[in-house]
Each structure stands twice: as structure tokens, then as C-alpha cells.
Amino acid sequence: MSTPPLTTAPQAIDPTFENVWDEIVWRGLVHVSTDQEALRALLAGDPVTYYCGFDPTAPSLHLGHLVQLLLLRRLQLAGHKPLGLVGGSTGLIGDPRPTAERTLNTRETVAEWVDRLRGQVERYLSFEGENAARMVNNLDWTAPLSAIDFLREIGKHYRVGTMLKKDAVAARLNSDAGISYTEFSYQILQGLDFLELYRQYDCVLQTGGSDQWGNLTSGTDLIHRVEGVSVHAIGTPLITNSDGTKFGKSEGNAIWIDAELTSPYAFYQFWLSTADADVIERLKVFTFLTRAEIEEYAELVATEPFRRAAQKRLALEVVATVHGAEATAAVIAASEALFGQGDLTTLDAATLRTALDELPHATVAPGTPVVDALVATGLVSSLSEARRAIAQGGVSLDGERVEDDTATVRGTLPGGVSVLRRGKKTLAGVFLG
């Protein structure tokens, strides 16, 4: 299937802002930071080296990490030099969670996840030009370090009283689970990372989520004590929905940027379902649309919310950024066709299959009556209800109205599947097996 080209916003800094600092503040990306005036001057001056770290505690990054990946890219577009750190050593430890100790993964698992995350981070940065990105792994400088040297050279600069006051540590100390010395030491390892990157690459800025602020300042404090210089940190806000619920969670599951863990179709539908109250802030954080363009969408949300123009643009932009234009065009075509605005027979088979996996679905034998398939997929609760729905003209199969209750499932769509529809918007997938 050939798909029309998509028009997405170019990755660029908005020229209406005097400074990239002003832009990231407008986009709501600065929740907490070191000296703001110094940061503004720093980012307005000559190119500086900055970094963000990603721990391989899962086989993929998720939407919370996407905030950091896009911030890395924005600062690079402004001329600064990014370091993408994947934590081969910190991933063996894991930063403290608020409620319970992490389960330690094997060294082999962590090494595999390091490679996967490195590949994900690399897709968001440019490795060409004067401000080319560089990837680093903190295992390179921690593995050769003996426990005695670690305690003498790094540990002596930390005060236990200060470490106990860090939010993540304090939360665990007040919980039933307590905290192990292993996780308690995590903030020292992250501080060591910043120190090493300062020494090796003159790195003077670290970014991360605001829930990591204690770990971010571990590095700024360590560099000040050891090197006698001031470096900086930016903590981005934790993204939540307007109703206070945690962003990026659906029935307890994270929204991953790996297509194998969250399909591009499911990813697209996630963004498309963004509430009106949240969509403009999402456009600011997750897209490269300009201030003027986002203000236009804000007006559309206020005056014509039923068109959901802002949600459609948000979904288009983010899916294209994460999964590419071809996959985005395919999922948009599938979404439109499934809901009656396109031809189901022209869809890409793989995309259609993943889309149907997200709907109620069932596997039936070839030639199964439609009435049985309606029950199997849960669109109706009984055969008699299925027959009534057909008699009332409210059932379609593969885009065509079912005229009588003797019709059978044919699997005529790409990939040998079928789509059942009851009414205008209630859909189910049927797989033949």
C-alpha cells in the first residue's frame, strides 16, 4: 500500500524566542533548576556540553524518557553538545523507588538492555557537525574503580545527613520496606557520573526529571567540592493529566517507545485520546510546533473542540517522531478506515493486525456465522441479540452491511482477517484459525 506523504513540523528552535532557555521555559520544561539567570546566560553563549542519563532497568524507554530525549534534541538544535549516557553500572543498581527495593537484574540482562536503550537514544540526536552527539556508558569508569578508591576519592565528599534528606531516600526510610545500602548509594554513583563527564568532556549541565532532583544535585555539589566550579542542572516537571492522574499509564502499563512493546497504532490512539484540558501542554512538550502554531490550536480547542484538531496534530507529530513517517501514515490510514473514513481493503496487513489486537477480538474457524462471531467478540451477549442487531441493519462485516443472519465470516481483509462493526463506533476484530 502506498501512503501519501505526511507534513510534520521541522525540528528547529522557534526563532521568536530570544534564547533557547526562554523557549524551554515557555514549553513548561523547567520545574526546578540551579541559578536560572546563570543558566539563561550559559545557554545564550558559546556551545556547552550537557547530558542526560538513562538507566537500563527495562528493555525500552517510555514516555517519561521521551521528555528528556526531546529536551536533549532541543538544546542540540540550539548549538549545544549532547552526551547521551546509558547507565551500564547504575542500571545494575537502580535508583530508589518510593515504595520498595528494586529486583536486581542479571549482568547479562542489563548489558542487553544497555544496547537496546543506546539504539533508542541515538535516534533522537545528530552525530554529525560541530556539535555532534556522543554516547557514553558509566560502566567504563566505574568498573575499573575499586571499592577502596570509590570510598576514598568519592565517598569522602558526601555527608550522610545530607544524603538522608534526599526525597527518594527519605520516602523509603519512612516506608515499611526501608532502604538498602545499595540503593542508598545510588546518588553517589550519579554524582560520580557528572564529575567524570565534567573532567572528560567539560560537561556543565545535566537534565532529568524533577523526581531525580536529589540525584542531579549530587553531581553539582560533588563537582563544586572537588573541582571548585559551579555546574548546572535542570529538572523537568513530571507530566500528569489535568485530573491529577499519572501521565503515560494505562491500566498499570507504561506506554513504551519500542514498537514491539507498544504498537504504533496503540501509540497513536493514546495521543489521539488526549483530553482537551491537556492537549496544548502536550503540544508544547512533545512537538516542535512553533509558539504561533500552538496558539492557533489553543484557539481551535476553545472554539471547535469537537473537531479534535489539536489531538490529531499531536498524535501525528509524536508518532512520526518516535516511529517515522511511514508507520505514522499506515496507522492513520488504519484508524480512519476502521472508523468509516477509508477503505479497509487497502490497509497494510501488519498494521491492520496490530490495530485489531487493540480492539475486542476473537479467533474463529473459517465459515463461522456472523452471529456466532458477534457473540465470540463480545459485541453482543447472545445469539438472539445478534440476530436482532442484524435485522435492524446495525451490523457490518469488512465494511459491508450484513443483510441476513446466515452470513459467514470470510476473512477478506489484508492478512486474512475481518472487522465486525455494531452501530457506528463499536468494533471488533475477527481472526481465522
- Structure confidence by residue, pLDDT tens digits, 264-301: 999 999 999 999 999 999 999 999 999 999 999 999 99
Please report which helix (H) or strand (E) contains residue 6, including its range.
none
- How far is residue 278's CA from residue 241's CA, in Å, rounded to a whole number? 6
What residues contact residue 82 under an 8 Å CB cut-off, 6+ apart?
A: 49, 50, 51, 52, 72, 73, 75, 76, 125, 131, 133, 134
Q: Which three cell numbers stand for residue 277?
A: 484540558
Interatomic CA distance for residues 390 and 388, integer angstroms: 5
Check residue 317 and give left, alpha or beta (phi > 0: left; psi -120 to 50: alpha): alpha
Same domain, 262 and 216: no
Half-sphere exposure of 418 (CA within 13 A, CB side): 30
114 and 213 share one domain: yes
Task: Give CA angle at 141 (72, 163), nearest 5°.
Answer: 75
What confidence score (pLDDT) does residue 171 get?
A: 84
Predicted local distance difference test score (pLDDT) of residue 5: 54
Same domain, 218 and 84: yes
| 303 assigned to some structural domain | yes
pLDDT tens track for 255-274 = 999 999 999 999 999 999 99
114 and 217 fall within a common domain? yes
Query: What's residue 3's pLDDT?
Result: 44
Mean pLDDT of 203-226: 96
| Residue 202, pLDDT score | 98
Out of 333, 353, 373, pick the residue that ends a domain: 353
Mean pLDDT of 339-362: 89
Averaged pLDDT score across all residues of the chain = 93
For residues 147 and 267, state if they share a domain: no
Q: Is residue 21 part of a domain?
A: no
The answer to whether residues 76 and 216 belong to one domain is yes
Q: What is the rounded average pLDDT of the residues 389-405?
A: 92
Which of 353, 374, 404 terminates a domain? The answer is 353
Last residue of one domain, picked from the residues 211, 236, 261: 236
Asked whether residue 17 is domain-assigned, the answer is no
DSSP letter (8 states) at residue 141:
H
Q: Residue 402: which domain range?
A: 359-433
- Does residue 10 fall inside a structural domain? no
Global confidence as pTM: 0.92
Count of the separate structural domains present in the chain? 3
Taking residues 59-63, what's their average pLDDT? 96
- Which grid coordinates are listed for 243? 485530573
- The model's confidence at residue 25, banded by pLDDT at 50, 70 and 90, is very high
